[in-house]
Structure 1
Amino acid sequence: MHAITLAVADVERSAVFYRALLGIEGSGVIGTEYPRTESQAGGTTAMFTLDDGLIVSVYAREDMALDSGVDLPHGPTSTIGHFVGSQAEADAFLDRARAAGATVLAAPYTRPWGMYSGFFQDLDGHLWEVVANPGGGDPADAQPAAG
């Protein structure tokens, strides 16, 4: 996977949020010279390249619907996972999300299989999970504890 594009209500507002959340400069809002028409999606977007090369972009919900030909549901249909190395890093990321305007849904906690995580929603309701695996190793390799 090389890019994730999030449908948003306001590209400018979301660009400000993601710059604050991710702590990186993005491209800024680009493509404004390509406005939406009745039959064609506009080109306005903002893109952020993460350290691992993944591109996160925000694109107007109406443009994405017109571009794809699909009525987009409102509300989360999946989660965006952000993996960090420790509980302190997870807490700091959640604090940064809150400061940027996100809604932290509940205090993070340690799952029975050892992963520590918490959830927040961005300005458009996209659901994020911040995950730390304090036991070490890749959080994707965590296994439920034997019971």
Structure 2
Amino acid sequence: MIPQRVSLITIGAYDLPMLRAFYQKLGWEETAHSSDNYAAFTTAGVILTLFPIEELAKDAEITFTQDRNSYRAVSFAINLDEPSQVDSVIEQIREIGGTILREPSDAFWGGRTAYFADPENNLWEVVWNPSAVFDERGAMISY
């Protein structure tokens, strides 16, 4: 049986120093494993890493053809404890240069949601889900 967990997510970075600076501006702390060519940030549920996109393609033994200016076909989410936090987090992201794609609004399913893109067009949802359950570390364990 394959363990049912996600432990690490890597974003292939076109410009690692610029992308790293954006996540540092979010206030996220890097781990001791970060280096000039790799950034690792701790989160409540997984480790988020940034790795040069050419190196990621080489490591996976693939040819990468993604257009740098298009959105990627994946999104990440920051789930929050209160609906008002969606608005305040989006304002903080706006202040540090994130591109707001969807302003905070109430969702048809009862939550509150917004979207932003980091400087390399990785999509992030900022969301409050009234059904979300978090563990003591802040990792979402149910929704």
For residues 71 and 119 of structure 1, the distance between their equivalents in structure 2, rounded to whole angstroms, comes to 29
Gaps of 5+ in 2: 1-5, 134-141
If the length of structure 2 is used for normalisation, what is the TM-score?
Answer: 0.78
On the 8 A contact 1:3/1:56 being kept in 2, the answer is yes
Give the alignment's Cα RMSD to 1 decimal: 2.0
On the 8 A contact 1:117/1:130 being kept in 2, the answer is yes
Percent of residue pairs bearing the same amino acid type: 25
Match of 2:119 among 123, 127, 146: 123
Match of 1:39 in 2: none
Match of 1:26 in 2: 30
For residues 32 and 113 of structure 2, the distance between their equivalents in structure 1, rounded to whole angstroms, comes to 30
Greater fraction strand: 2
- Spell out the pairing of 1:86-101 with structure 2 (5 A cutoff): 86-101=82-97
1:137 maps onto 2:131 in alignment: yes
Whose Rg is larger? 1
For residues 31 and 104 of structure 2, the distance between their equivalents in structure 1, rounded to whole angstroms, comes to 32
Q: How many residues align?
A: 126
Structure 1 residues 29 and 98, CA gap change in structure 2 (3 angstroms): farther
Match of 1:48 in 2: 41
Runs of 4+ in 1 over 3 A off after TM superposition: 27-32
On the 8 A contact 2:72/2:122 being kept in 1, the answer is yes
On the 8 A contact 2:100/2:115 being kept in 1, the answer is yes
The offset of 1:90, in angstroms, is 1.0
Gaps of 5+ in 1: 33-43, 142-147
